[in-house]
Amino acid sequence: MKRAVILIGLLAAFPAAAQQADKPTPEAGKKPSEILAMIEQRPDFARLDEMSWEDEGYYEIVYHTSDKARVEVNVDPMGKPVEHR
């Protein structure tokens, strides 16, 4: 009985570990300063409001344009835009 409980516990843990391994990490890609430099090169960029790492595997960047519009962009660790998940 103990073996069955341990086996079930181990089998339940493996999919969670595999799913965790699929998520990109900031260390696997470009430096945050490089990502930010790419955003700053946008023609309408005026100022950065916020940049944070989300556990889902992307940077959430909020900035304002020269006409004061607020823009939210999600960018993966390689600098490519991603859709909010």
Q: Residue 18 has what pLDDT? A: 47
Question: What is the Rg, in whole angstroms, of the alpha carbon atoms belonging to the chain?
Answer: 19
In this structure, is the dihedral angle defined by the CA atoms of residues 41, 63, 33 and 30, taken in order, positive or negative? negative
User: What are the distances in angstroms from CA 41 to CA 34, 35, 76, 80?
Assistant: 11, 10, 17, 14
Domain that holds residue 72: 25-85
| Token pair for 53 | 């790492």
Number of folded domains in the chain?
1
Taking CA 85 as the corner, what is the angle to CA 71 and CA 46, rounded to the nearest 5 degrees? 15
This prediction's pTM: 0.69
Residue 64 located in a structural domain: yes
Q: Residue 4 has what pLDDT? A: 55
Q: What percent of the chain has a predicted confidence (pLDDT) above 90?
A: 60
Q: What is the mean pLDDT of residues 68-80?
A: 95
Residue 2 located in a structural domain: no
pLDDT digits (tens, 9 = 90+) for 63-72: 999 999 999 9
> Is residue 20 predicted with pLDDT exceeding 70?
no
β partners of residue 59:
53, 75
